[in-house]
């Protein structure tokens, strides 16, 4: 992704009220789903390794 592509994607995220969760928000999200201890961190890592279809579509030029 070029810097121009990144800037466009960031602008789209802002315009569409899309923001990344903070670490504390992510931790609370998985704790609310019942994960405890190391499971919380393992789930955060798994989620970070998955792509976001909405962002991918936008990055590839689709609306």
Average pLDDT over residues 42-62: 83
The rounded percent of the chain whose pLDDT value lies above 90 is 38
Domain parsing of the chain, residue ranges: 3-59
**Which residue would you say has higher pLDDT here, 5 or 58?**
5
Sign of the alpha-carbon dihedral angle for 36, 22, 32, 48: negative
**Which residue would you say has higher pLDDT here, 56 or 16?**
56
What sections of 1-63 are H helices per DSSP?
3-15, 23-32, 38-49, 53-59
Q: What is the pLDDT of residue 46?
A: 94
Q: What is the pLDDT of residue 36?
A: 97
* pTM score of the predicted model: 0.59
């Amino acid at each position: 992704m070029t810097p121009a592509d990144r800037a466009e994607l960031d602008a789209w995220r802002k315009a569409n009220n899309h923001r990344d969760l903070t670490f504390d928000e992510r931790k609370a999200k998985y704790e609310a789903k019942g994960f405890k201890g190391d499971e919380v961190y393992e789930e955060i890592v798994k989620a970070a390794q998955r792509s976001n279809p909405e962002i991918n579509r936008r990055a590839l030029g689709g609306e």
